[in-house]
Amino acid sequence: MLVFLWYLLASLLGAGAAPAADEITYLPGLQKQPSFKQYSGYLSGTEGKHLHYWFVESQNDPSQDPVVLWLNGGPGCSSLDGLLTEHGPFLIMDDGATLQYNPYSWNKIANVLYLESPVGVGFSYSDDGKFATNDTEVSLNNYLALKDFFRLFPEFSKNQLFLTGESYGGIYIPTLAERVMEDADLNLQGVAVGNGMSSYELNDNSLVFFAYYHGLLGSQLWSELQTFCCKDGQCNFYNNQNPNCSTCLGDVQDIVYSSGLNMYNLYASCPGGVRHRVSAERGQLVIRDLGNNFINHQWTRLWNQKLLSLVALHESVRLDPPCTNSTPSTLYLNNQYVKKALHISPKALDWVICSAEVNLNYGRLYMDVKKQYLKLLSAMKYRVLVYNGDVDMACNFMGDEWFVESLQQQVQVQRRPWYYEDVDGRQVGGFVKEFDNIAFLTIKGSGHMVPTDKPVAAFAMFTRFIKKQPY
């Protein structure tokens, strides 16, 4: 009897015991504090690695709603960008001090866990101060952090779990899912990746077609690309050894990434104006290149060597994604009162949107994630969504569509428009093609950051994905 009472007492004290020390009791910048609970603190990875998290409970029914992990990409960029500028419960205003509630927040229907990964990104840190890592280490640390989250929040351990992410999250999420699906203690239900890097080869090959048919290249360059990079109707823009092809692709890269176009949204302006890929500003080297495209070409290797030599000459290096304005988020998150509210460790670095050190020293081990997707799909029990804003040039829709097609799954619903409701009535959200357990979906007129560009359509898509409704 005494043993039973002891177990009962332990379960009452332990179960449902979210870490009180991590609860955000007052968040600066809000006119009114939220009705839902939120937490911020650290989760443990491998020895000495501390990953910062910000967890927002569902505004609907936290005990029953799913837990959704969100990872931004880079590699080396912070998931708090997803929270504060994409689909979090509050969005940062231009003053860098004020937050406004987001009517299309994903935590309207889910408990959302934003994880800053890997260490060195945002407020995540390691005891030894070393941030060099690679795809395999990152997937392990993300898995360990997820396990630690459910240790701290046991009341959510039986909830449905979805893994979601964006951009280089196209590598992070499937490689994490591969570990999670082997763990019977985690109630994995599905995976969603937005504008993800799924295959370097398909991304490079499709980008050239995307650029030409969106009017960026002109007929002469296109004719030269066809002559030097294509044979028997097949084009290789990925690792073509023909020097004339390489020269043409150098021109393509200059137009797409260096001419001043917004690579994240072709039809949007470039916040802050047109800048160089690399510049020195007040003694600091500023890099506006995440290094994900045309990585096999000789001029890319030469560029990377030049970049590393420039880095060595500067004490301070900043990595800014091109045509993005991270100043408001940076001001807000480095405010001492905000850091206190979020329980940020004094060992953490100042917050920046992307870590140059992580990005420049990152080991890209997976050139595609086909194996991971096929493993997920072979289980025949997970819902998988690959979605793309259709005017993004960082990870364009065509490359991801080709990738999903390459998985050779049984088609269930042929490509068709999908719809959602907004203030003007029923609208075309984009196009969707559904296979066994996986769907490819576009968001019309959106760039790389879908919930930022098309919040209403993004929320409709997310709701249908989470609730396992038809798109």
Mean pLDDT on 172-180: 98
CA separation for the pair 106, 86 (Å, rounded) = 9
The owner of tokens 């009897």 is 1
Mean pLDDT on 278-296: 84
Active-site annotation holder among 58, 124, 126, 167: 167
What is the Cβ-side half-sphere exposure of residue 283, based on CA atoms within 13 angstroms? 2
Residues 184 and 297 in one domain: no
Contact assessment for residue 111 and residue 54, using Cβ atoms and an 8 Å cutoff: no
Supply φ then ψ for residue 318, to 5 degrees.
-120, 140
User: Which of these three, 267, 299, 327, is where a domain ends?
Assistant: 327
Lowest mean pLDDT among 32-36, 253-257, 286-290, 396-400: 286-290
How confident is the model over 64-89, as pLDDT tens digits?
A: 999 999 999 999 999 999 999 999 99
Write down the pLDDT at residue 221.
98
Catalytic site includes residue 448: yes
Mean pLDDT on 303-319: 82
| Of 317, 257, 241, the residue nearest 286 (C-alpha) | 317
Is 184 a domain residue? yes
pLDDT band for position 9 (50/70/90)? very low
Residue 356 corresponds to which tokens in the numbers above? 């140059």
Residues 188 and 207 in one domain: no
Write down the pLDDT at residue 6.
39
Residues 194 and 209 in one domain: no
Q: How many domains does the chain have?
A: 2
CA separation for the pair 176, 141 (Å, rounded) = 9
Mean pLDDT on 352-370: 96
Residues 43 and 188 in one domain: yes
Residue 132 has pLDDT above 90, yes or no: yes
Tell me the average pLDDT of the chain. 94
Residues 185 and 295 in one domain: no
Residue 377 has pLDDT above 80, yes or no: yes
Residues 60 and 173 in one domain: yes
Q: What percent of the chain has pLDDT over 70?
A: 97
Angle, vertex CA 33, rays to CA 332 and CA 331, nearest 5: 5
Is 448 a domain residue? yes
Write down the pLDDT at residue 4.
41
Residues 315 and 276 in one domain: yes
Is 333 a domain residue? no
| Reduced 3-state DSSP string for the chain | CHHHHHHHHHHHHHCCCCCHHHECCCCCCCCCCCCCCEEEEEEECCCCEEEEEEEECCCCCCCCCCEEEEECCCCCECCHHHHHHHHCCEEECCCCCCEEECCCCHHHCCEEEEECCCCCCCCCEECCCCCCCEHHHHHHHHHHHHHHHHHHCHHHCCCCEEEEEECCHHHHHHHHHHHHCCCCCCCEEEEEEECCCCEHHHHHHHHHHHHHHCCCCCHHHHHHHHHHHEECCEECCCCCCCHHHHHHHHHHHHHHHHCCCCCCCCCCCCCCCCCCCEEEECCEEEECCCCCCCCCCHHHHHHHHHHHHHHHHCCEEEECCCCCCCHHHHHHHCCHHHHHHCCCCCCCCCCCCECHHHHHCCECCCCECHHHHHHHHHCCCCEEEEEEECCCCCCCHHHHHHHHHHCCCCEEEEEEEEEEEECCEEEEEEEEEEECCEEEEEECCCCCCHHHHCHHHHHHHHHHHHCCCCC
Q: At what angle do helices 219-229 and 200-213 cross, to 10 degrees?
A: 150
pLDDT band for position 261 (50/70/90)? very high
Q: For the whole model, what pTM was predicted?
A: 0.95
Active-site annotation holder among 368, 392, 400, 453: 392
**Residue 455's domain is classified under what CATH number?**
3.40.50.1820
User: Which of these three, 266, 300, 327, is where a domain ends?
Assistant: 327
Is 248 a domain residue? yes
User: Which of these three, 268, 301, 327, is where a domain ends?
Assistant: 327
Residue 139 corresponds to which tokens in the numbers above? 């997937």
pLDDT band for position 335 (50/70/90)? very high
Supply φ then ψ for residue 254, to 5 degrees.
-60, -45
| Of 34, 4, 44, 85, the residue nearest 455 (C-alpha) | 85
pLDDT band for position 16 (50/70/90)? low
User: Which residue did the predictor score with more confidence, 13 or 426?
Assistant: 426
Residue 14 has pLDDT above 80, yes or no: no
Residues 165 and 210 in one domain: no
Residues 67 and 161 in one domain: yes
CA separation for the pair 290, 278 (Å, rounded) = 11
Catalytic site includes residue 392: yes
β-partners of residue 442 are: 388
Measured torsion, CA atoms of residues 407, 410, 412, 414, in degrees rounded to the nearest 10: 60
Residues 166 and 185 in one domain: yes
Residues 34-51, buried b or exposed e (16+ Cβ, 10 A)?
bebebbbbbbbbeeebbb
Residues 194 and 99 in one domain: yes
Residue 258 corresponds to which tokens in the numbers above? 């260096």
Is 162 a domain residue? yes
Write down the pLDDT at residue 117.
98
CA separation for the pair 159, 154 (Å, rounded) = 10
Is 144 a domain residue? yes
Residues 265 and 188 in one domain: no
Is 22 a domain residue? no
Is 43 a domain residue? yes
Residue 160 corresponds to which tokens in the numbers above? 């449905």
Catalytic site includes residue 167: yes
- Full domain range(s) for residue 280: 201-327
Active-site annotation holder among 117, 390, 448, 453: 448
Write down the pLDDT at residue 13.
42
